[in-house]
């Protein structure tokens, strides 16, 4: 059976590594070796020479991630930002333009706005929940359309297939940051994307114990360009990080099911609570992106945002009072997290068009017992 004939959970557990022929080890070893002995000059034994160029633990992870996205090629990086930086440098040259979401991940926006603009790259921001707006933002100089869906922290939904069509017609490449959905819930390559990006720090790693990134594509030229920069610029993960990420990815299917189940229960509780003004979740019928999300996602994910009826102070109080939901940035781990985007992850957007409401609280719903999470939120809301 080839990988693409297997179900998602089977691929997650098996793709990328066969039991070691010598020892029978069922898991990929952590190859803590920076260099590899050669049999005579240029005589590589297993295709490896130096670990920036390639390391067997990283190779296993890369094959695993490619299989999970239904893609031909994967590349792993030391962080989501290293993957972002690599994709941008591989796909853009001075004079080129790219289109990004008006609520892009803050680090992505910062890298483009504070670094790439110095190298002759220009960009436009658009509301990516409107494919027509994306088309209107594309110019003759546009080489890349970059989207996220769902977005952070307002969970807006972009129609990947519609934007892929727009970008193909214009002759640009489409990159989808699939971090929030994970490959279990959403498969952008099958919907027409050229490249899928992950911060594997989040759901793929899934245990808040490792930082990493990935790029997956079916385009051999882009894959080569990403590999050239892995070796040429060096933003690669070490073997222990690659191992931890692959260990996390193996359980993605069961974790995502429980993240979704718990998030749905949290949404039910909060939607009926007098302290909550609005619940934002793509699974709700009234969410403006619900129909698109229903088409392109398996379920609606573990991220829930709420606006408090009592305004900013009520939002800060909720963050202060939860006991199981830990007050922290980041997301996608097995443990539930709570944060105030306006004062934490999105503080840098204050005063800009990207500013988030100050009564907003973002929950990364973990996989603890559902009843305990609900009880925690209820006591914290008072």
Ligand X SMILES: *Cc1c(COP(=O)(O)O)cnc(C)c1O
* Contact with ligand X (CB under 6 A) among 62, 69, 103, 148: 148
Site for ligand X in 199-228 (CB under 6 A): 199, 201-202, 211, 213
CA distances from 164 to 27, 246, 335 (A): 37, 29, 34
Which of 6, 52, 307, 312 is flagged as catalytic? Answer: 52
93 is catalytic: no
Rounded CA-CA distance 222/69 in Å is 16
Query: Does residue 177 touch ligand X according to CB under 6 A?
Result: yes
Q: How far apart are CA 236 and CA 321, in angstroms?
A: 39
CB of 139 to ligand X, least distance (A): 25
> For residues 107 and 357, which CB has a smaller minimum distance to ligand X in the complex?
107
Given 59, 179, 187, 245, the residue binding ligand X (CB under 6 A): 179
Q: Is 48 a catalytic residue?
A: no
294 is catalytic: no
> Residues touching ligand X: how many (CB under 6 A)?
16
Which of 173, 183, 165 shows the shortest CA–CA distance to 225? 173
The closest alpha carbon to 99, from 115, 86, 88, 85, belongs to: 88
Q: How far is the CB of 368 from ligand X (least distance, A)?
A: 21
Place of tokens 């952008």: 188
**Separation between Cα atoms, residue 150 and residue 293, nearest integer Å:** 9
In terms of Cα–Cα distance, which of 68, 69, 80, 74 is closest to 250? 68
CB of 4 to ligand X, least distance (A): 26
Interface of this chain with ligand X, residues 10 to 29, rule: CB under 6 A = none
100: nearest Cα among 81, 80, 126? 126
Nearest distance in Å: CB 103, ligand X: 11
Of 59, 64, 149, 152, the one binding ligand X (CB under 6 A) is 152
Tokens of 179: 């971090």
Cα 127 to chain centroid, rounded: 19
Closer CB to ligand X, 98 or 308, in the complex: 98
Catalytic residue among 31, 48, 73, 105: 105
Active site residue ranges = 52, 105, 177, 202
| Residues contributing to the site for ligand X (CB under 6 A) | 79-81, 105, 107-108, 148, 152, 177, 179-180, 199, 201-202, 211, 213
């Amino acid at each position: 059976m080839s990988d693409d004939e297997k179900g998602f959970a089977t691929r997650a557990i098996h793709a990328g590594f066969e039991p070691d022929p010598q020892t029978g080890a069922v898991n990929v070893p952590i190859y803590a070796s920076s260099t590899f002995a050669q049999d005579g000059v240029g005589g590589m034994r297993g295709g490896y020479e130096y670990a920036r160029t390639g390391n067997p633990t990283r190779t296993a992870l890369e094959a695993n991630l490619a299989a999970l996205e239904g893609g031909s090629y994967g590349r792993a990086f030391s962080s989501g930002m290293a993957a972002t930086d690599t994709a941008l440098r591989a796909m853009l040259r001075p004079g080129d333009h790219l289109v990004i979401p008006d609520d892009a991940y803050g680090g992505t926006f910062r890298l483009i706005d504070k670094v790439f603009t110095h190298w002759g790259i220009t960009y436009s921001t658009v509301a990516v929940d409107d494919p027509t707006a994306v088309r209107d933002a594309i110019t003759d100089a546009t080489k890349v359309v970059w989207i996220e869906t769902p977005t952070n922290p307002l969970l807006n939904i972009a129609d990947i297939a519609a934007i892929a069509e727009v970008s193909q017609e214009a002759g640009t490449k489409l990159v989808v940051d699939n971090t929030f959905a994970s490959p279990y819930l959403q498969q952008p390559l099958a919907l027409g994307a050229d490249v899928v990006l992950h911060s594997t720090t989040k759901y793929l790693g899934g245990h808040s114990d490792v930082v990493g990134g990935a790029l997956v594509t079916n385009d051999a030229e882009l894959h080569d360009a990403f590999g050239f920069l892995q070796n040429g610029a060096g933003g690669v993960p070490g073997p222990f990080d690659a191992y931890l990420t692959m260990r996390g990815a193996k359980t993605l299917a069961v974790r995502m099911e429980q993240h979704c189940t718990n998030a749905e229960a949290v949404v039910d509780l909060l939607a009926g609570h007098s302290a909550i003004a609005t619940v934002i979740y793509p699974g709700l019928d009234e969410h403006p992106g619900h129909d698109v999300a229903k088409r392109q996602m398996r379920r609606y994910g573990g991220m829930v945002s709420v606006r408090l009826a009592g305004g900013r102070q009520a939002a800060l109080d909720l963050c202060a009072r939860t006991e199981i939901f830990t007050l922290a940035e980041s997301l996608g781990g097995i443990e539930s997290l709570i944060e105030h985007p306006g004062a934490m992850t999105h503080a840098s957007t204050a005063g800009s068009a990207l500013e988030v409401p100050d009564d907003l609280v973002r929950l990364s719903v973990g996989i603890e017992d559902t009843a305990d999470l609900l009880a925690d939120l209820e006591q914290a809301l008072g």
